[in-house]
Amino acid sequence: MDATATGPERDRNAAGRPRNARPRDLLGRPLARDAVGQPVMPDGLEVTPDWALATAQQMLDDGRPFHAHEVLEAAWKSAPSAERNLWQGLAQLAVGLTHALRGNAQGAVALLRRGAGRIRGYAGGHPHGVAVDDLLAAANALADRIESGGLSGLRPGDLTLRLTGVPDSRSG
């Protein structure tokens, strides 16, 4: 069979790397190419830590952890090397929540633990207001709960994390 007859050409970014430009649903699952999906982060977007944390937290609060992961991934890609584990760990925590909402308990536990492992190096601190110790405790407790009891007893409100320890100034 001719290789060109196997399907549509794969989407590529400006550097020629493969990417998936298909529309995505609320939890980041690919939809049909002609479907209307959720907005996605543009490639190469540089974000500030404050914007990334506020935007990702809003997305987590709205039940959109896949999209929070995209924001945190943008921060990770533009962060100084000393902060990359922090941002990558935060992105992995969001992916863990995404797996949980998709019904994948094993993937949720794995990504929650992997993300916690990456941010553990920042324990005792509050880089950019991230409540690392509280976040570690919450991520590990959620992973333990899923590992021992599965996802069936969890409500959507159980599947979120608080990234910063600083309350939203608009709430008070």
Q: Are 28 and 34 in contact (CB under 8 A)?
A: no
**What per-residue confidence (pLDDT) applies to 19?**
54
Residues 39-53 have pLDDT tens digits of 565 566 678 999 999
Domains for the chain: give ranges and CATH numbers.
Answer: 10-40 (no CATH), 49-171 (1.10.3450.10)
Q: How confident is residue 10, by pLDDT bands cut at 50, 70 and 90?
A: low
Q: How confident is residue 169, by pLDDT bands cut at 50, 70 and 90?
A: very low
User: Would you list the DSSP string of the chain?
Assistant: --GGGGSSPPPB-TTS-B---S-B-TTS-B--TTS--B--PPTT----HHHHHHHHHHHHHTT-HHHHHHHHHHHHHHS-GGGHHHHHHHHHHHHHHHHHHTT-HHHHHHHHHHHHHHHGGGTT--GGGB-HHHHHHHHHHHHHHHHHH-STT--GGGS----BSSPPGGG-
Name which residue leads in pLDDT, 112 or 9: 112
The residue with tokens 């999209």 is: 67
Residues 92-127 have pLDDT tens digits of 999 999 999 999 999 999 999 999 999 999 999 999
Q: How confident is residue 15, by pLDDT bands cut at 50, 70 and 90?
A: low
pTM: predicted TM-score of the whole model, two decimal places? 0.77
Residue 129: count other Cβ atoms within 10 Å of its Cβ: 13
Residues 58-93 have pLDDT tens digits of 999 999 999 899 999 999 988 999 999 999 999 999
47: Cβ contacts below 8 Å, ≥ 6 apart: 55, 71, 74, 75, 78
Q: Can you name the residues that pair with 38 across neighbouring β-strands?
A: 24
Distance CA 108, CA 101 (A): 9
**Six token digits for residue 122:** 């920042």
Tell me how far apart the 2 most distant CA atoms of the chain are, in Å. 65
Is pLDDT at 5 greater than 80 in this prediction? no
Of these ranges, 19-28, 32-41, 100-109, the one predicted with the greatest mean pLDDT is 100-109
**What per-residue confidence (pLDDT) applies to 21?**
67
